[in-house]
C-alpha cells in the first residue's frame, strides 16, 4: 500500500518531519511511504495511495499560502476522496499555532472527502490528538530533533490504520 507525505517547507524543518513520518510508516509491512515537496509531487503515486499526510509550517498560525493554493489547485484532481488523511505541522514557538495549522489541513481533507485519522489517545502515550507538531526553537531551548519520536510513532500508527483499511 502506498502512503504519500506531501509538505511545504522553505527551511527544511517540515521536510525533515515528513522523513521521520516515512521512517515510522516503513515499519509497517507492505507499506511504501514516499515524501514529496509540493513543488514536485508524483501525482500518479498519490492517486494510487491509500493514505495521504499533509504537512505545513505555521505561518502566523495558519498553513502556508503555498499549501493552501496547492490544495485548491490540485486537491480535487488527485482522487483523494475515501483515502485516509493525516496532517502535521512545524512551528518556532510552543504556542505558535501548530494545532490550528493541522486543524485547517484536516478541514480541507474532509472537504475533499478524505477519512481523517490521527490515532488520538487510542494507543496511550504519546497521545497525538490532531497530529504531531515539531517545535524548532523556543525559550525552553528545545530543538526539532527532540520531537522525532512523535513523528515516527505517528507515522507507524497512521500506516498501520491505512494498511488495515486498504492493504
Ligand atoms: C512568514 C513566516 C511566518 C511564521 N509564523 C510563525 C508562527 O505564527 N508561529 C510559529 O511558531 N512560527 C512561525 N514561523 C516559523 C516557522 O513556522 C518554523 O520555523 C517552521 O518550522 C519552518 O518550517 P520549514 O523549515 O519547513 O520552512 C513563521 C515563519 C515565517 C517565515
pLDDT digits (tens, 9 = 90+) for 78-121: 999 999 999 999 999 989 999 999 999 999 999 999 999 999 99
Task: Tell how far the Cα of 91 is from the centroid of ligand 1, in angstroms.
Answer: 5
Q: Which residues, judged by CB distance below 6 Å to any ligand atom, belong to the binding site of ligand 1?
A: 9-15, 57-61, 90-93, 96-97, 136
b/e string for 129-157 if b means 16 or more Cβ within 10 A?
ebbbbbbbeeeeeeebeebbebbbbbbbb
- Residue 61 in this model has a pLDDT that exceeds 80: yes
Domain coordinates in residue numbering, the chain:
2-166
pLDDT for position 140: 60
Pocket test for ligand 1, best of 91, 97, 132, 143 (most atoms within 8 A of CB): 91
Q: How far is the CA of 121 from the centre of ligand 1 (A)?
A: 27
Task: Look at the pTM and tell me if it is higher than 0.85.
Answer: yes
Band of pLDDT at residue 2, cut at 50, 70 and 90: very high
Enumerate residues 6+ apart whose C-beta is below 8 A from 82: 113, 114, 115
Long-range residue pairs from 142-151, CB within 8 A, at least 24 positions apart, any chain = 142/94, 144/13, 144/16, 144/17, 144/90, 147/17, 148/20, 150/126, 151/17, 151/20, 151/21, 151/23, 151/24, 151/88
Coil, helix or strand at residue 84: strand
Measure 3 CA to ligand 1 centroid, in angstroms: 26
All three cell numbers of 64: 502556508
* Residue 138 in this model has a pLDDT that exceeds 90: no
pLDDT tens, residue by residue, 25-48: 999 999 999 999 999 999 999 999
The whole-number pLDDT of residue 34 equals 98
Does residue 137 register a pLDDT over 90? no
Question: How do 2-7 and 133-135 pair as beta strands?
Answer: unpaired
Q: Whose CA is nearest to atom 15 of ligand 1?
A: 92
Output DSSP code: residue 131.
-
Tell me the Cα Rg of the chain: 14
Name the residue of 13, 18, 54, 59 whose CB sits within 8 Å of the most ligand 1 atoms, as the mutation to test its pocket: 59
Please identify, by atom number, the ligand 1 atom nearest to the C-alpha of residue 144. 21
Nearest CA to ligand 1 atom 5: 59
Residues 141 and 106: beta-carbon distance below 8 Å: no
Q: Tell me which fold the domain 2-166 belongs to.
A: Rossmann fold (3.40.50)
Distance CA 127, CA 26 (A): 21
Amino acid at each position: 500500500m502506498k502512503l504519500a507525505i506531501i509538505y511545504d517547507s522553505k527551511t527544511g524543518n517540515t521536510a525533515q518531519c515528513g522523513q521521520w513520518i516515512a521512517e515510522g510508516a516503513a515499519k509497517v509491512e507492505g507499506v511504501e511511504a514516499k515524501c514529496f515537496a509540493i513543488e514536485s509531487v508524483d501525482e500518479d503515486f498519490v492517486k494510487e495511495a491509500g493514505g495521504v499526510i499533509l504537512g505545513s509550517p505555521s505561518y502566523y498560525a495558519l498553513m502556508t499560502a503555498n499549501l493552501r493554493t496547492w490544495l485548491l489547485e490540485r486537491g480535487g484532481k488527485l482522487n483523494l476522496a475515501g483515502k485516509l488523511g493525516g496532517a502535521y505541522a512545524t512551528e518556532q514557538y510552543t504556542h505558535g499555532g501548530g494545532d490550528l495549522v493541522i486543524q485547517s489541513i484536516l478541514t480541507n481533507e474532509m472537504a475533499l472527502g478524505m477519512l481523517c485519522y490521527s490515532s488520538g489517545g487510542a494507543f496511550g502515550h504519546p497521545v497525538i490528538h490532531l497530529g504531531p507538531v515539531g517545535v524548532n526553537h523556543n525559550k525552553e531551548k528545545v530543538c526539532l530533533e527532540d520531537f522525532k519520536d512523535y513523528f515516527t510513532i505517528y507515522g507507524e500508527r497512521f500506516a498501520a490504520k491505512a494498511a488495515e483499511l486498504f492493504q
